[in-house]
Structure 1
């Protein structure tokens, strides 16, 4: 918070915040949602590495890497591809990263496996129209078993009569075998009414906390019933949910995402795209997260921001049917890094992050990956930051 604010002023501002609409409440916090705080972490660039475009590995096309996690059992990293079985079956990769205080020296892929359905078959492409396709977005290694938990967004169909594919968090073996799935909050369900996640804005972020006792998820954008998506004037609220390993919903919160940073090219057929593609729990504080916000605007490119966020003091919105116009207190957040200021060779579609090894400086490394969407004008970029 700003040093000029007195304790009394802070208390008064927070009281007023609780009486405002969610979007206004987020902006009305003392110092604003991006205000610096004494407890916030800081980040600096260690280095980066780019994976060659359409790298062929074991007969698959490396790309679309939208999530990453470190496997404590092997020391390797696991990357999930968001290929919806269009090029090859929906899959993940394992890799060894040579990362230290001097940067990212090498990215060496060591294996790949398709995700399998309960009957052992791979997932079909959406073009089959059988309602069994998946849209992989995030992967985490279970800190207790080293098995994989992976999230996929499902699909809200554009056309009437097309199948609804529900988002899910599934469990898989290290070779991709189906082991079950987590029961999700009811309001994460895609319905044919104007409720639930928007198309392509469902679960894109999951993380383990409390040494594996908790799983926290976030939907990428606001639920349909929670209000409009961000624009040039207003941000929005997305839901963040803490659950037990067996699916019990413990708490749910509203996280404030930023407004759109620039006007779109009027000649582009694509509107702005913004949301939360990844969040990461602090190892010793299950109520505190690093949250990645990713925004793309036609003609302006990407803006990637990393925040230090906490659920402390935020309203539990499990029983709040709609956040639109409701006086809820959202999660508070502090800006850690704007990628435009890190000195990267390019700022692209960064979607995944995980903790890396500790550094001799006492800092901890943070590994991030960008999703190239299998496009020649984008990059698969592995970035390492030092976080203190």
Structure 2
């Protein structure tokens, strides 16, 4: 999550009830076609959780900021990406063994770490004034065909004129972090100073392979500037989800309806509410179906983490729609799978990453999620396992 967790110190929450039927900002959503019944949504239950020690020292690095996770079928291990923008150590990822079964999460053992390399072989330096080489790592996926790593980073839209724009990207890396290439992205993912494209810190934070690794789907964390305002307690927003071939050809772009803000922000807080889509995950047997994670933080109320079962089937292809504001589109349909407030976790924190885990004896599939502690003292790195059917 992009905002400082010192905002969490507010106490009393002024909660509002979420309708789970988002009002779409500046766009009219067509109703679902009654002739196309919605398939039975996934259901989830808690298996267990494990808290990683805060600022765990590992191989000369500080473990934290874990904002994405995936399972490597070639090794059986998991890979976690850190969103440290090279402030503490160079931008990097970790590998780990997770002991997860029907009885819960028994152990998290880190096994390695590597820095991401630039095309010239160097590591990414910390951002400085006038330096356009910094990155903002947010998501990582293991290529189901090669077991190389594909990772997404948000880039940077400068707050003021002068510093360079850093474009978001999806790159490929070897298992040791060496640069292997970059995926061409749709034009509307580009940050421009003409107030178009992704908002600051609301670019690519979610990506997933689908169709047996033949397709890659990514999501923008929040609405594009040209697509309308961010969500409020009164209305939601539309964020763009893009499906591409491995070579970058756009197969379709869809509008995902982001929930409205679930609570009134503490008026005394210097921080406003923060919401978006930090992760999506394709269902192995359906290229049109995804688990979508929505993460919201509100001063005085804390975090709201919700998991949805969503489909692009029947949704309007909006890749040729310049602006969603004022347009009538049929968004992706979605159904609530889990609200973390109901899972009886030790805490509900800044959950940002998820991946499929092992199949359980019950026939359910384990879902592994991780929270990003932003290296803050009042946050945790929490590994959660759910059983999904």
3-state secondary structure, aligned to 1:122:
coil
Mapping of 1:53-72 within 5 angstroms? 53-72=54-73
Deviates more, 1:73-82 or 1:265-274: 265-274
**How far is 1:159 from its partner?**
1.1
Contact 1:21 1:328 in 2 (8 A): no
Counterpart-to-counterpart distance in 2, 1:296 and 1:275 = 9
Q: Does 1:251 align with 2:255?
A: no
Unaligned runs of 5+ in 1: 1-19
**How far is 1:291 from its partner?**
0.1
Could you tell me which residue of structure 2 aligns to residue 8 of structure 1? none
More helix by share: 1
3-state secondary structure, aligned to 2:188:
helix
**How far is 1:129 from its partner?**
3.0
Counterpart-to-counterpart distance in 2, 1:286 and 1:370 = 26
**What do the CA deviations read for 1:1-32 (whole angstroms, capped 9, x no partner)?**
xxxxxxxxxxxxxxxxxxx9865427x6599x
**How far is 1:128 from its partner?**
4.9
**What do the CA deviations read for 1:264-311 (whole angstroms, capped 9, x no partner)?**
111111100000000000001110000000000011000000000000
Could you tell me which residue of structure 1 aligns to residue 43 of structure 2? 42
Could you tell me which residue of structure 2 aligns to residue 160 of structure 1? 161
Could you tell me which residue of structure 2 aligns to residue 79 of structure 1? 80
Counterpart-to-counterpart distance in 1, 2:148 and 2:25 = 41
Could you tell me which residue of structure 2 aligns to residue 115 of structure 1? 116
Contact 2:27 2:329 in 1 (8 A): no
In the superposition, the TM-score normalised over structure 2's length comes to: 0.92
**What do the CA deviations read for 1:67-109 (whole angstroms, capped 9, x no partner)?**
0000000000000000000000000000000000000000000
| Change in 2 beyond 3 A, CA 1:136/1:259 | same
3-state secondary structure, aligned to 1:265:
coil
Q: Does 1:269 align with 2:270?
A: yes
**What do the CA deviations read for 1:185-242 (whole angstroms, capped 9, x no partner)?**
0000000101000000000000000010000000000000000000010000000000
Q: Tell which has more relative contact order, 1 or 2 (C-alpha 8 A, sep 6+).
A: 2
Contact 1:22 1:327 in 2 (8 A): no
| Change in 2 beyond 3 A, CA 1:163/1:262 | same
Could you tell me which residue of structure 2 aligns to residue 344 of structure 1? 345
Q: Does 1:25 align with 2:35?
A: no
Q: Does 1:374 align with 2:372?
A: no
What value does the CA root-mean-square deviation take over the aligned residues? Answer: 1.5
3-state secondary structure, aligned to 1:386:
strand
Could you tell me which residue of structure 2 aligns to residue 223 of structure 1? 224
Could you tell me which residue of structure 2 aligns to residue 3 of structure 1? none
**How far is 1:153 from its partner?**
0.1
In the superposition, the TM-score normalised over structure 1's length comes to: 0.92
Could you tell me which residue of structure 2 aligns to residue 235 of structure 1? 236
| Change in 2 beyond 3 A, CA 1:185/1:38 | closer
Q: Does 1:296 align with 2:297?
A: yes
Contact 2:28 2:326 in 1 (8 A): no
3-state secondary structure, aligned to 2:133:
coil
Could you tell me which residue of structure 1 aligns to residue 201 of structure 2? 200
| Change in 2 beyond 3 A, CA 1:319/1:38 | closer
Unaligned runs of 5+ in 2: 1-23
Could you tell me which residue of structure 2 aligns to residue 102 of structure 1? 103
3-state secondary structure, aligned to 2:321:
coil
Counterpart-to-counterpart distance in 1, 2:129 and 2:174 = 26
Counterpart-to-counterpart distance in 2, 1:263 and 1:124 = 39
Could you tell me which residue of structure 2 aligns to residue 387 of structure 1? 388
Mapping of 1:279-358 within 5 angstroms? 279-358=280-359
